[in-house]
Amino acid sequence: MLNKKGMVMAMILEFSCSNYKSIKDKVTYSALAGKDNTFEDEIKKYGKYRVLRSSVIYGANGSGKSNFISAISFMKLLVITSINHQPGQGVFQASHKLNSNEIPSTFDIQFVKNDIRYAYGFSVKNNTVFEEYLYYFPNGRQTKIFERENLDIIAGDKYKKDFDISKTVLKDNRLLLSCAANYSDVVEIEQAFLFFSKDLVVYHPEENDWTEKSIDLMQKSEEIKKVFLAVLDVLGTGIKDVKVRLEKNFEMN
C-alpha cells in the first residue's frame, strides 16, 4: 500500500510459523522477489529489496494452506486482544499432533509500516508467552526495541525507561506489544501495533461473505464493475459481462 508520494504505508515482507495445527516444522512465506525479471514492472523497490506487489499460495487439498493463513490470523488476534487476558486464562496453542505444548509454537513477521521495516515475533509454550521481540530498521540499520523471555524484558538502549508502566500489566498470557501499545508513548510500538490492528487484513471465506457486498458495489458503480470484469479477463475466465438479478423468495409457513 503506497501513499501519493510513493512511500510504502504497509507491506508484508516475510512470515514464518512452526508447530501450529498441521504445520510441524518451520515454514516461511516471502514477498521478496527472486532473480527472474520477466515481470519487473510488477515489482516494488524498497531499499535494496525487490518486493512482490501480490502473490499466491497454492497446493493440494490438505497441504496446510488454510492453516498457514490461520497462523497469520492468530498472530494478529493475539497482538490486538492479549491485553485483555485475565489471570489463569491460557494462551491458545494449537500444537501439531506429533508435538506437544512443551515445544514452542513460533510466529515471526517482517513488515514495512510508514516506509520503515520492522521485525516482530513471539513463541507460545505451555499456553504462555515464552519469547517475544521487536526490532526496527531506521536508515536500514537494525535497532532493538525490546526482547523478552517469559516475564524478563531487555529494552533497547533508546527505550530503557519506556516499559516501566507496561511491566506492571504484563502477564505470562499477554504480549508486551499489546501492553506497551496501551501503556507507553513509544511511536515505534504504536506503529507496529497499528500494522496489526489496521493494515493486516485476513479474509476467511467461512467467516466473511463478501458476495452480497460485491454485487451491491457493482450495481451502484459502473467503474467498480469494469474493474471486476478486467480482473476476470486477466484470469482468463472468458467472462465478458456480469448481470445481477435479485429475486424475492416467499416461504410458506
Q: What does the block give as the cell for 128? A: 504462555
- State the Cα–Cα distance between residues 52 and 101, nearest whole angstrom: 35
**What does the pLDDT look like over 199-214, one tens digit per residue?**
998 876 655 556 777 7
C-alpha cell belonging to residue 162? 519506556
Backbone angles phi, psi at 123, to 5 degrees: -130, 145
Q: What does the domain layout of the chain look like in residue ranges?
A: 10-199, 209-253
pLDDT at 206 (0 to 100): 59
Check pLDDT > 90 for residue 233: no
pLDDT digit string, tens, across residues 20-63: 999 999 999 999 988 888 888 888 888 888 898 888 888 888 88
Element housing 69 (H / E):
helix 65-81
* 3-state SS class at 197: helix
Of 120, 222, 136, residue with least CA distance to 176: 120
| Residues 112, 13 contacting (CB under 8 angstroms) | yes
Q: Please tell me whether residue 102 adopts helix, strand or coil conformation.
A: coil
**May I ask the CATH architecture of the domain 10-199?**
3-Layer(aba) Sandwich (3.40)
Residue 167 in this model has a pLDDT that exceeds 90: yes
pLDDT band at 73 (very low <50, low <70, confident <90, very high): very high
φ/ψ (deg, to 5) at 29: -105, 135
What does the pLDDT average to over 149-159?
A: 97
> For residue 166, what pLDDT is reported?
97
- Residue type at 72? I
Q: Are 2 and 9 in contact (CB under 8 A)?
A: yes
Whole-structure pTM value: 0.81
pLDDT of residue 94: 95
- When mean pLDDT is compared across 39-53, 91-105, 151-165, 175-189, the lowest value belongs to 39-53
Q: What is the pLDDT of residue 44?
A: 84
Q: What are phi and psi for residue 16, nearest 5 degrees?
A: -135, 150
Q: Is 87 helix (H, G, I), strand (E, B) or coil?
A: coil
Tell me what the pLDDT averaged over the chain comes to.
89
- Smallest CA-to-CA distance from 16 within 4, 1, 31, 26 is with 26
Nearest to residue 195, comparing CAs of 220, 213, 177? Answer: 177
Give the confidence band of 246 by pLDDT, cuts at 50, 70, 90: low
CB-hemisphere CA count at 13 Å for 148? 30
